[in-house]
Structure formats: C-alpha cells, structure tokens
Amino acid sequence: MVADSKRRKPSSVGQFLRAFDEVLSKLFPLTLILLGLFLLLRQTREYATVFLLLALVGAIIWAVADS
C-alpha cells in the first residue's frame, strides 16, 4: 500500500473535471425548474437566454458552496 505522503497530487485536469461534474449535477435540477417557468411565462424566446445563464450561475455558486 502506498503511503499518503507518496501519493500523487490530483492533476489540475482531474480537479477541473470534478468541478465540471459537480456543476452539471447542480445545473440539471435548476434547468428543470427554469423550463417549468418557461411554460408559465409564454415568452420563452425573450427570456430563455437570461434564465439559462441564471441557472448556470446558480449551479456554479451551488457547486462551490458544496465543496
């Protein structure tokens, strides 16, 4: 068994992929909620981009707060 001090440090690519995975897992439920709002508003073309950007920002904040 390898001692803890001799283990390799996680690569930056691995850290990025882990963060990306967390953001995607947080983005899915937020996107479903926002898609429900799209159906209620009936003005999806005007607000779709804004809502998706808000979902992305919310997912990033949620992922950072959890880590």
The whole-number pLDDT of residue 44 equals 64
Predicted model pTM: 0.42
Question: For residues 30 and 58, what is the distance between their CA atoms, to the nearest angstrom?
Answer: 8
Question: For residues 65 and 57, what is the distance between their CA atoms, to the nearest angstrom?
Answer: 12
DSSP 6: G
Question: For residues 48 and 35, what is the distance between their CA atoms, to the nearest angstrom?
Answer: 9
Q: What is the pLDDT along the chain (67 residues), one digit of tens a residue?
A: 555 555 666 678 777 778 778 877 777 787 777 777 777 776 666 677 777 778 788 878 877 777 6
The whole-number pLDDT of residue 43 equals 66
